[in-house]
Every structure is written in C-alpha cells, then in structure tokens.
C-alpha cells in the first residue's frame, strides 16, 4: 500500500513539474514574440508604410531618438517620414541634432513636417529640415532666436551676510556664475556666443526656406508668428495637417494616401529632476524648463503656454 501511495505522490509531483515547465515555456515564447514585435515596431520594418514621428514638449538630448532616425535611412519599408511637431523648442544642440538627422533622411526619402499648436524656436529649427512644412492657421511658430539665461543670488547673499570666494584659472572661467554678478567682459563673451548660434539659425532659415538673408534678419528678432503669418512670410509652405501632408506625398512622390502610417517608438530618457519632483509637477512646463541648461532655443511666454 505504501509503495502505491509513494507512486501516486511521485506522479502528482511529476505532473506539477511538467505543468510548470510547460507554462514557463509558453511564457518564454510569448515574451520572445513581444520582443521581436517590439523591435519591428521600433524601427518600422515590414510592409511598406509612411513612418510617423511625434516630437512633443521640450526638445532635449535623446540619443535613442537620433539613432532610430538614422536607422530609418536604411529601412526600405518606410517610404517617407511625417514628423508631427508640437514643441516650443528646447536645447539648441538637441534641436540641431534632430534637424541634422531629418536632413540625412531627406537625402533618401521625403520628409514632411506637420506643426501642431506650437512649433517655435528649436521646434521650428527642427521643422526646417523638411521638404514640406504644414501648419494650422492658429499654430504658433517662428521665435527664431537663442537664449542664454543667467541668474545670480548676489543680492540675497548680501542681505544674509554671505560672501563667495572663487579661485579660477582665468577671469572668464565659470561665467556666468550663480554666486557672482556678470562682469562686462563675461557679458560680451556670452553675447558673442549667443550671436554666433543665432547666426547659424538664421543661415538655416535662409538656406532651407530660400529667403534673402536681409528678409530673414527682419523675421529673426525672436517674434512669433501664427501659421497664416508664417505662410505669408515664407516660413512654412502650406496650411493643413496630416491629411494634407499625405495628399502632398501622393501628388509629389506617388505615395498612395492608402498606405498606412506607422508610428516610430522612442524611449523617454528621464532627467534626474523627474525623480525629485512630484508627478503633477513633472507634467508641467515649468518642471521641464528646469531640465534645460546652456544655450536654449525655446519660446516660453510668462502668462500661459497653452494655445
């Protein structure tokens, strides 16, 4: 009797082991399928389609996004790229990086930009890479400029009786500085830096939009334009959205409007401030603004950033 009982127990145990490994195998297959499908979606491989990239919020450095764009060059299944931009700008270098990547794609397949509520400053810089730019009449764009902000706490420190001593290798090292007033020489050097990058931005506008440099000079004083004004001034090509962009691709490149759009997926790289700020604050424009450093090309109205 005991041997039969032991045999029964062994069979039950073996059955549980078989069930466990069978379930584990199924889970592993499912996970591998998800990874394979995810990679396929990430680079947009498969049947012919129009790749769709969303650029929203502040434009920050994201190496994964740039790598994904350069990978798109070799992806024959993606016959064109539509970029939807809804951004007030961001880091100047990051905006330029997006611009360069889009220009590289444009060498092998058409690139179209569709502006959302805002595509200003660095957002407009990125848009300049496109072969065709669409915007809504009420889109806020332009703001062709560069900003280098410097805050100092000298007045507050003096009120509190706190002094700062900085030992540096040269008079222009660590300027601007939060703990010191900006010296005239440092102000002049930083102004030249801003002017140099602004000149690069203006050259991009003149070259990509086919505008006379003198015309660009008048438009590049930092002002914003509605989509309608931007079209009148030659800063964009046409009014419209994604449907109009797809129709243009069909008319210009014989890419059927029936060809599906396929969204490109990007990974969001969290800034360390994201871990310190609450969820509600993380989603605010102010919180994102805190992540910016150095030269920025961003439009940031003080009353409201919602249009």
Q: How many CA atoms lie within 13 A of 286 on its CB side?
A: 8
For residue 146, what are the contacts with CB-CB under 8 A and spacing of at least 6? 92, 194, 197, 198, 201, 295, 296, 297
List 15, 173, 270, 283, catalytic entry: 173
Q: What is the pLDDT of residue 17?
A: 60
Residue 231 annotated as catalytic: no
Contact 91, 123 (CB under 8 A): no
Element (DSSP H or E) covering residue 113: strand 111-120
Instruction: Please report, for the chain, the start and end positions of each structural domain, with discontinuous segments joined by +.
Output: 47-147+213-298
Q: How many CA atoms lie within 13 A of 14 on its CB side?
A: 6
Q: What is the pLDDT of residue 163?
A: 80
Q: How far apart are CA 223 and CA 204, in angstroms?
A: 17
Residue 173 annotated as catalytic: yes
Q: What is the pLDDT of residue 164?
A: 78
Q: Helices 92-106 and 63-73: crossing angle, nearest 10°? A: 10
Q: What is the pLDDT of residue 282?
A: 41
Q: What is the pLDDT of residue 306?
A: 32
Q: How far apart are CA 34 and CA 236, in angstroms?
A: 40
List 87, 97, 121, 143, catalytic entry: 121
| Cis-peptide, bond into residue 119, ω within 30° of zero | no
Residue holding tokens 């049947």?
Answer: 47
CATH architecture of 47-147+213-298: Alpha-Beta Complex (3.90)
Query: pLDDT averaged over consecutive 10-residue blocks of the chain (307 residues)?
Result: 55 60 64 52 67 94 92 95 95 95 98 97 97 98 88 80 80 78 86 93 98 97 96 98 98 96 69 44 46 58 36
User: Residue 297's beta-bridge partner residues?
Assistant: 90
Element (DSSP H or E) covering residue 71: helix 63-73
């Amino acid at each position: 009797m005991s041997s039969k009982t032991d045999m029964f127990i062994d069979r039950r145990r073996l059955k549980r082991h078989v069930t466990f490994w069978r379930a584990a195998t199924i889970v592993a297959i499912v996970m591998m399928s998800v990874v394979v499908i995810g990679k396929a979606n990430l680079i947009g491989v498969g049947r012919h389609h129009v790749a769709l990239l969303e650029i929203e919020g502040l434009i920050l450095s994201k190496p994964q996004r740039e790598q994904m764009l350069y990978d798109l060059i070799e992806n024959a299944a993606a016959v064109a790229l539509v970029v939807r931009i809804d951004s007030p700008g961001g880091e100047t270098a990051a905006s330029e990086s997006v611009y360069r990547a889009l220009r590289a794609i444009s060498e092998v397949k058409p690139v179209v930009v569709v502006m959302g509520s805002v595509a200003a400053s660095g957002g407009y810089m990125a848009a300049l890479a496109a072969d065709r730019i669409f915007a809504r009449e009420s889109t806020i764009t332009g703001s062709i400029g560069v900003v280098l902000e410097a805050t100092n706490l000298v007045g507050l420190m003096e009120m509190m009786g706190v002094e700062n001593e900085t030992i540096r290798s040269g008079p222009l090292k660590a300027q601007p500085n939060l703990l010191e007033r900006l010296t005239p020489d440092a102000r002049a050097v930083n102004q030249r830096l801003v002017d140099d990058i602004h000149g690069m931005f203006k050259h991009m506008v003149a070259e990509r939009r086919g505008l006379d440099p003198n015309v660009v000079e008048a438009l590049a004083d930092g002002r914003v334009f509605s989509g309608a004004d931007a079209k009148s001034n030659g800063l964009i090509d046409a009014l419209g959205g994604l449907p109009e962009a797809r129709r243009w691709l069909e008319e210009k490149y014989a890419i059927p409007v029936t060809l599906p759009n396929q969204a490109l997926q990007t990974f969001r790289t969290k800034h360390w401030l994201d871990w310190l700020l609450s969820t509600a604050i993380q989603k605010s424009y102010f919180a994102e603004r805190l992540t910016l450093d150095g030269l920025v090309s961003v439009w940031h109205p003080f009353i409201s950033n919602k249009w």
